Amino acid sequence: MNDHKEKILKICNETSKNTLMETLDIEYIDVGEDFLLAKMPVTPKVHQPDGVLHGGATAALAESVGSAASYIFLDGNKYFVRGIEISANHVKSIKEGFVYARAILLHKGRTTQLWEIKITNEANQLISLCKLTTIALPRS
């Protein structure tokens, strides 16, 4: 994995161009044998009206990282991946700085996968805990 780490991160970041991931300034920053990590700045662009991180932006970050991880760990050349269910428990608010999303595979089935995505702040405090179910369908 270490030999391909920079290549994987480059591909993830390049495929984010002109997408929601670019709009939210999501950047993939680390990948390992069983995880993908991304960061997103918390600015007024992703705030709800009272000045804290919007839960929808958090869910978009979680789904983006979980789906990208599925693509990496399931051979995106053979399958296309779609998120089919996401849940998010927001436990702490944040007004500024960065949030980090780490996707870890909990279940790798032939068709469906279950991901845990922890969203933390710069002090590694839990902001949100998300669960994403993805489906991998064969490319025709």
CA distance 89 to 140: 36
**Confidence class for position 1, pLDDT limits 50, 70, 90:** low
Count of CB atoms situated within 10 Å of the CB of 56: 11
How far CA 95 is from CA of 99, 122, 140, in Å, comes to 10, 12, 44
pLDDT (tens digit per residue) in 23-62: 999 999 999 999 999 999 999 999 999 999 999 999 999 9
6 is catalytic: no
pLDDT the model gives residue 77: 80
- The distance of Cα 138 from the centroid of its chain, to the nearest Å, equals 22
Q: What is the pTM for the complete model shown? A: 0.94
Whether the pLDDT of residue 128 is over 90: the answer is yes
What is the predicted pLDDT for the residue at 110?
87
Q: Does 2 have pLDDT greater than 70? A: no
Q: Which H/E stretch holds residue 50? A: none
pLDDT of residue 76: 73
Which position has the token pair 């009272």? 50
Identified catalytic residue from 6, 22, 63, 122 = 63
